[in-house]
């Protein structure tokens, strides 16, 4: 069994897609400590993509990180276009953790995919 880590600072990665919201709490090195999602919180189908599901998932993960690991200060990295991104950030704010940084790490294509062939007439 792995020994429990006690860490004051952590990083929270929120990935909000159109279908689900994933939350991963890591230490400063990037090793995963606690994770969760709207699906693992009991939501199925289209309800996983709602802001309420994201809020519930974040509360579950953050409470586990605070209680078991002693996390007090976090850096938040948000990725994706989903409906749960704002709700997840609001839930982290209301959880009582000190937020030292918020970053949007959504990947942006600078060239995009190759265009379709020109239509023959």
Q: Residues 6 or more apart from 16 whose CB is under 8 A from it?
A: 22, 54, 78, 79, 80, 81, 82, 83, 84, 85, 88
Helices then strands, each counted (H, E), the chain:
2, 5
Query: What domains appear along the chain, each with residue ranges and CATH number?
Result: 17-26+33-104 (3.30.420.80)
- pLDDT, position 4: 64
- pLDDT, position 7: 83
- pLDDT, position 121: 80
| Helices assigned H by DSSP within the chain | 51-69, 84-94
Helix (H) or strand (E) holding 110: none
Q: What is the pLDDT along the chain (121 residues), one digit of tens a residue?
A: 445 677 889 999 999 999 999 999 999 999 999 999 999 999 999 999 999 999 999 999 999 999 989 899 999 999 999 899 999 999 999 999 999 999 999 999 898 889 899 998 8
- pTM here is 0.86
- pLDDT, position 48: 92
């Amino acid at each position: 069994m792995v020994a429990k880590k006690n860490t004051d600072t952590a990083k929270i990665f929120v990935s909000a897609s159109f279908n689900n919201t994933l939350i991963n709490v890591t230490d400063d090195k990037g090793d995963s400590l606690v994770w969760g999602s709207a699906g693992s919180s009991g939501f199925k189908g289209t309800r996983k993509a709602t802001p309420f599901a994201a809020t519930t998932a974040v509360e579950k993960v953050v409470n586990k990180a605070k209680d078991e690991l002693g996390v007090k200060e976090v850096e938040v990295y948000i990725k994706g276009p989903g409906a749960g991104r704002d709700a997840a950030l609001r839930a982290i704010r209301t959880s009582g953790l000190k937020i030292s940084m918020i970053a949007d790490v959504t990947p942006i294509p600078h060239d995009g995919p190759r265009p379709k062939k020109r239509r023959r007439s």
